[in-house]
Structure 1
Amino acid sequence: MEIDIVLKELQNQNKSVYKNVFNHFYKGLVIYANNFLFDQEASEDIVQEVFISLWENAKNIEIKTSLKAYLYAMVRNKCLNYLKSLKVTDDLNVIDLNSILVLDEDLDLISEEEKTILYNHILKIIETFPESMQQVFKLKFIENYKYEEIADEMGISVNTVKTQLKRAKVKISQSLVIILALLSIHS
């Protein structure tokens, strides 16, 4: 469907079109939100809030790119606001990197080939971590464990978990600066 037609139908409160948009984007948006929050329920709540906002404010919405980009941007912004409300900071810009790696609409920032190169470099960086740091990192970011669950699983303190993750992020961000610089040279 053309964005203008879909937007017009949403503005006219067409429930059928709204339901189709919801069904088409919901699952992907929840996965995207979960990449920020690592909390399935909070991710679902945020995506539902985005769709409620879309329904309530459809008459005032101006979409300049695509509906998909608009919805993903709304989810990203709500996730960042949610994290701010929890006093979570992203000094290393891991969230922005994650956004680039996950969202298809950011292809103008980084190509598919560069995403693959970057992802493979991140995996290589993780492989250089000490065994315990690798395990903490994988439990947190691949298995979506909470700090307490990682601590229980590994028999370490929650502070040790946080320290290991902070060190892992520092190592990744230091290496990524070099990798991103090399990618921009080759562009």
Structure 2
Amino acid sequence: MNIALEELQKQNKTVYKNVFNHFYKGLVLYANNFLFDQQASEDIVQEVFIALWENAKNIEIKTSLKAYLFAMVRNRCLNYLKAVKVTDDLNLIDLNSMLILDEDLDLISEEEKNILYNQILKIIATFPESMQQVFKLKFIENYSYNEIADEMGISVNTVKTQLQRAKTKISQSLVVILALLSIRQ
């Protein structure tokens, strides 16, 4: 069993604080990919850490603490979206989580992963040059919004707008790709 989990189960505040500090920012970014609402994303991640603390003694993790935390955040985001009546009939939210969290990619075949990956690269190639650069800095180089803005000499809001437009274009295009993949099966 994971040493960090053992210490969390013993209510070790130092380990809990370290886990919080290590995962908080990434979990908020992950939640924000579902919600597109920074405050709601922060609230959900804080709720996850409260639940982790309150239920640590009863938690059984079969994968890793990281995968467990990301799954908790994803589930709470989906519940939040259901509560505000957002529907996802095409399962774009699940696809988005697959693209962000590699652990979920084992749900689709290797062939489908390659098709999706190649189609995403083709979609990105159609973006205007500046949008391509913003997208690559964010998702390939893992830059923060501020780092991208500094690198490119643009505002953080422009970075966010470019990324939102890129995600929208990818989501719209992937609907067709996923439909074609499901027809093949």
TM > 0.5:
yes
TM-score (norm 2): 0.68
How far, CA to CA, are the matches of 1:120 and 1:40 in structure 2?
Answer: 30
Larger of the two Rg values belongs to structure: 1
Q: Which of 55, 74, 77 is the matching residue for 1:57?
A: 55
Identify the residue that residue 71 of structure 2 maps to in structure 1: 73
**How far 1:107 moved relative to its partner?**
4.0
Q: Which amino acid aligns with 1:73?
A: A
How far, CA to CA, are the matches of 2:173 and 2:32 in structure 1?
Answer: 23
Q: Would the alpha carbon gap of residues 117 and 170 (structure 1) be closer, same or farther in structure 2, given more than 3 Å must change?
A: closer
> Residue deviations 1:114-138, cap 9 Å, x none?
7575244135347779x9xx9xxx9
Identify the residue that residue 25 of structure 1 maps to in structure 2: 23
> Residue deviations 1:7-28, cap 9 Å, x none?
2211111011001111111111
Unaligned runs of 5+ in 1: 146-164
Unaligned runs of 5+ in 2: 136-157
Q: Would the alpha carbon gap of residues 112 and 37 (structure 1) be closer, same or farther in structure 2, given more than 3 Å must change?
A: farther
Q: CA-atom RMSD, angstroms?
A: 3.4
How far, CA to CA, are the matches of 2:87 and 2:114 in structure 1?
Answer: 27
Identify the residue that residue 173 of structure 1 maps to in structure 2: 175
Identify the residue that residue 40 of structure 2 maps to in structure 1: 42
**How far 1:106 moved relative to its partner?**
2.0
How far, CA to CA, are the matches of 1:28 and 1:127 in structure 2?
Answer: 27
Counting matched residue pairs gives: 155
TM-score (norm 1): 0.67
